[in-house]
Structure 1
Amino acid sequence: MKTNLMMIWGIKTGIKAYNEGKSEIALKNYFKSLKIAQGLKIKPFIAVLSYNIGLIYDSWGDYEDSMFYYEKSLKIWKELDFEPGITKVAGKIEAIKNIDRELVEKILETHPPEPQERKIHKETEKIIEAPELKEKKIDKNKPKQEKMSREVILRAELLDKLTKADEIIKIAQNYHIKGKNQIAMISYRKALEIYEETNHIPGKAMALTSIAAVYRSMGNYPDAINMYQHALKLNRDLNKEGNKDQTIGIIFNNIGTTYLAWGRDREAFNYLNKALEIYKKIDYERGISVVQNNLRRIEQTKPMIIRTQERPSISVAGIKKQIGLKRKKAKKLREFAKENQINGNFHTALDYFNKARDILLEIGQINDRNEISEILINIAALYRSQKNYEESLRHYKKSLEIKERINDREGKAKVLTFMGFVYRDIRNINEAIRTFYEALKIYEDLDDTRGINMIMNNLNRII
């Protein structure tokens, strides 16, 4: 009875928070209630809560996660043969699919086939429709006709390849929605290979965006940002006439939400405002609403995320100045490393991170230990991007030791979360669950809503 009341209370407070624009708090309460409902195996409540969670991710523009929870809700309503629930959830799923269709149509409208290709296509249709009427002309202009036929064959082969790539994208999307990230990644990369082979830039940009979304789902934020940046560049190249602002706005929003998940609110704020500027310019109401929801998340959690760090107090002015210069150099090196990390330059980034860490170790001040632990996190993420999971875990554990020594509980939870992602990558589900739960306990103690929501989402996808 008590657990039922807690579950209902979680739903009511979640709805209240959602209506007040406090989506992070709403999500936390929904996840708590969902955990109870799943434990009690109360299917209608699981369906309702999954739908409500999907609504929140939908409002943030996080369509992969929203589809995951919508599909979960739809499956239960179908099992219960509850038509109103089926209709409601199916409508939301269709709305998200329509967003994808609209973007694809926009690409086709703004990047139609070359005039020569259209001419060949029309000519081919005429030949197929009435070959007997073309017989004399073909005989008279045989070399020209043979050349045209070769072009028609090449065009047909190209279309076959692009059709295959589009089909692979759809398969990958289904795997991604179901949380099968590794298979989704392999499929998206296969589609990307075809788009690269055929030099189909819109398709390549779409595949890169999809790969970025998978990296984000896996908690591999540097690689996600890297892929989004590549997709952004391609879309900007296609956007020279200013016809595809909506797509660029979506990528800006995705980069912003990735930085949000990464805990880098300043970068998130900058990219979300870039998206908002575009959406306002084209009067895209849904986009404006999505970005404003994400900006509110920063506003509501900023006091927990942004903290000031004390500087060491040293009596000798000369030594203090020398240490200050070294710290500035270490900071600059770390900035260079981050830029190279995002751009996919593994060895250069690793070199800069190690140099920055060595400088701070040389200074040997207590107040630098947190910065050293953060650099170790960066290095661990680099190794993870190279699938060197052993080295990744080794550096995460080193960082964790420092976080424990300096009693940085928020930092400890963050490292445990990243370790959970790595354990999930190598299919060590028991360790992934253990580290996620350990992180969850800290986030709950700190009442860190964003941290709680991230862990609950990942636990729901692997349990």
Structure 2
Amino acid sequence: MSYKEQNRVLPHIFTICLLVLFFQAPSVLPATTLTSVVPENQKGSGSVEDVEVGASETNQALTGASREFLLHLPKYDLEDCGSACSEEPPGLPESPEVYPQASMLARHTIHPLKSGNEDYRKAVSLFLSGRTNEALAVLSKERLWQQSTEIEKPREEVARNWTLRGELLAAKLDFDGAAHAYGEAVRFAPDSYDSWFAYSFFHEERLHFKIAREGYEKALTLARVRGKDEDVGIILNNLGNLHYAERRMVEAREAYEEALKIRRDLASKNPKDYLLDVAKTLNNLGVLHRGEKNTAEARRAYEEVLKIHRQLAVKNADVYLLDVAKTLNNLSVLHRDEKNTAEARRVCEEALKIHRQLAAQNPDIYLPEVAKTLNNLGVLQRAEKHTTEAQQSYDEALKIHRQLAARNPVVYLPAVAKTLNNLGNLHYAEKRMVEARRAYEEALKIQRRLANKNQDAYLANVARTLNNLGNLHYAEKRRAEAWQTYEETLKIRRQLATRNPVVYLPVVAKTLNNIGNLHYSEKHMAEAQQIYEESLRIHRQLATRNPDVYLSGVARTLNNLGNLHYSEKHMFEAQQVYEEALKIRRELAANNTEDYLPDVARTLNSLGNLYRDENRLDEAREVYEESLRIYRAFAERSPAAYEHYVAKVQDHLAGIP
């Protein structure tokens, strides 16, 4: 079957495999909840920052960098593009595994059409009829080991059987068994590109980044030796996703750019078959640019992706209209990043309209997309303080997710927990603490149950919701409960960081900051200082590798330390850390005014308080006036968010003789 024919038939086969998995799935399937960090928690004359109240999850558009819906297929390259839609702190990957499993199994339904392997054909047939256990019996370890000794059996054929066994076991969440099967495939056929690809993809999904990277590099070498530009492009694209997940931004960009060059060359000769691949890698580059705050480059990439998808959808709306909607979603998130909420909402509403249109024709497949986009719209409405509309969007999303979970809890309970978490955030922001607690506790109950079956996929989500509950307890002065939830959060995140420091050390640092804030509020100054300093060490370590992403965390923690020193009248130490924080924030604001200039104003205000208390009144007036100018400029565009800061600085200035 040609590449063109495979591309045409695979989406339909994928849908069949997805439905098979839905109807025979085991008791729990992994997914995730995404979190966000809300503005700083104001304390007295300074600001204690980085209280993480998380969670406006947004729909992942075709993902590779964040992995909601990865379809990295060795030959047919339906791998999904990176998503720009996560509101979480960078680096918390998403892995609802039914989609990658369905995609890999879809690949195997094509092979029997040309394969002479009777066991392989029989196993695929059994799987498609919903008899996965019988399919595994056909591909038992004993039978495959026996085939490995038969000289007449081609090594590639035996390796393919091992790979199919691995994918069937992964579909049943037997990840240890699946890892063994994939390992046997590459051991038996070390020169097989397909075996190395499947092995690497599996380990990427399990967040075994080092193993996955080594496997992809072997697959890349094999693809280059064979002169298969198409396969080289696939591997480079996936390596870019992997580097992105590990925050290796330079390597990610190099991989994406080489993949894009290859795919543009292929598309120039055969746009019908390869133009979509150009869009995928462009989308991943857009994700990378957004992650590095290069919003202009991200917008250019997304707009070219949207142009391609609209062009393809004109010819085949059934196949490509969904891609249009997902790219609109990415653009919506980018507009939100740029504080262009009106345009973000307009684009999101167009995406929702497309998803509703698709769901009217095929609700089983597309109703979840409606719910996700409603959730995104709720995020935007909440950001615009349209809380009634936000709750309506979240409520409709939750109703759909509950309806889907009633039929298939395996697949959709994680989405119920996500939406509950977002509702909890909305209630929290509106000071409806009883409703917020009820939503968080239901989300946590679901996530604990999921994590009991699959810690790799869900333990991070437990920690996020615990952290949200800790913030709620903190706000309600329920200090004992706040201690308990923050400490459990920190324990989980430290555990996760020992296995994957690149991904989880940043949230360890954030949790330490929250615990430091709690110590600070209870006047445990020595403990608060110790915790802040550990958080600062982590942030500095992260910023050494990736300053664009983590320098802001250094500045936040320095500002917290400054507040602590200030409250203890250690003015020299306070001034030192405030000035370092201010220097970093000015540098960040020079490149990104919208995100970082308010932080400059915050630290200026803290310095003004210090100068005032030391009777350095001219210096105090100077920094207060600069802080006031910044706050006034932002208050003109967003009065609800900044007018109280304006009033506070005006009061400080009025107090100077």
> Normalising TM by the smaller chain, what interval?
0.3 to 0.5
Quick check: which one's helix share is greater? 1
Tell me the TM-score normalised to structure 2 length: 0.28
Tell me the TM-score normalised to structure 1 length: 0.39
- Which one scores higher on RCO, CA 8 angstroms, separation ≥ 6? 2
